[in-house]
Amino acid sequence: MLAYQGNAGRWFDPLRQMRLMQHDMNRLMDSLRVPALPEFPLMNIWTGPDGAVITAEIPGVSPDDLEITVHQNTVALRGQRMAEPVGEGDILHRRERVAGAFARSLVLPFRVDGDKAAATFRNGLLRLDVPRPDADRPRKITVSRS
Amino acid sequence: MADQEINGSAAAETTRDAPVFVPPTDIIETQSSLLMVLDVPGADPDSLDVTLDKRVLRIAARSASSHPEGYTLQHAEYRDGNYERSFVISEPVDAAKIEAVFKDGVLRLTLPKATPAPTAKIPVKAA
């Protein structure tokens, strides 16, 4: 008599088949993810040997209302965008622009120097320069022939 | 979609290889004017083009490149491109007094409503 082995063997095992089917179904369902809604603000991240540049599209937000914090390798951006005020008796035909408070935080693959970070805002585009600290920069090693 | 079908701009293509974005817009009608607020982040102020041809108001802009020198793009959520949108204005507006202000990536258009011509009374001569 053959010894029964839990999850192997050629014998038809309905329980095992069910378990496999469940596993397959789970895998199928896992890939059916709904894509995440576009977040506000939209960001582009650029990196170089000196650090990173984060650009974000934040139209209609005054630079004074933006709060940017840099801590180790995390950059957080928060602010608020006001909805267009609609007065008494005014008719609102379209409202497509998003409004409200927003917050996004990014984790960079390296530490950044918060003291040297600089931000500029122009035409609704924020540019945040976050350089890497000098001690943490990649070093170029020259290979000498011996 | 309906805006594009009317003036036929959907069939026309751009000469530049850049995507065309439809800027999100708020439109508020007040007693005296029509206020349009468009999000055009990164638009070059010199490239902004607002035209009113009969009843069709067309807004076009090109976003200036945001590519920082010496850096490579790691993660992208937006692209540079052109902004284009047109609206059919149903109210009669005073074309000479349209105001356009571009600030912080938001274009704000104020279209004052045309004052209706006073009712003309035509005397009828009895012959």
**pLDDT tens track for A59-103:** 989 888 899 999 888 999 999 988 888 888 888 888 888 888 899
Q: How many A×B Cβ pairs under 8 Å? A: 114
More confident residue, B14 or A142: A142
State whether residue B70 sits within 8 Å of chain A by CB: yes
Structure-token pair, residue B121: 């009374």
More confident residue, B9 or A138: A138
A140 confidence band (pLDDT: 50, 70, 90): confident
Q: So what's the pLDDT on residue B12? A: 67
Q: For all residues of chain B together, what is the average pLDDT? A: 84
What is each CA distance from A106 to A40, A43, A134, in whole angstroms?
Answer: 13, 10, 21
Q: So what's the pLDDT on residue A38? A: 61
Structure-token pair, residue A141: 């090693």
Strand partners, B106: B39, B103
* Contact at CB, A96 and B25, closer than 8 angstroms: yes
What's the mean pLDDT in A1-26?
A: 71
What's the mean pLDDT in A10-25?
A: 82
Nearest-Cα residue of chain A relative to residue B108: A60
**Domain boundaries of chain B, sorted by first residue:** 2-9+18-64+80-112
Per-residue pLDDT at B32 exceeds 60:
yes
**Domain boundaries of chain A, sorted by first residue:** 42-84+99-136
The domain defined by A42-84+99-136 folds into: Immunoglobulin-like (2.60.40)
Rounded Cα gap, residues B21 and B60, in angstroms = 10
Q: So what's the pLDDT on residue A37? A: 58
* Contact at CB, A91 and B76, closer than 8 angstroms: no
Q: So what's the pLDDT on residue B3? A: 47
Structure-token pair, residue A48: 């170089």
Long-range contacts of A109-115 (CB under 8 A, 24+ apart): A109/A47, A109/A73, A110/A51, A110/A52, A110/A73, A110/A136, A111/A72, A111/A73, A111/A136, A112/A51, A112/A52, A112/A70, A112/A72, A112/A73, A112/A75, A113/A51, A114/A69, A114/A70, A114/A71
CATH for B2-9+18-64+80-112 is: 2.60.40.790
More confident residue, B103 or A136: B103
Per-residue pLDDT at A55 exceeds 80:
yes
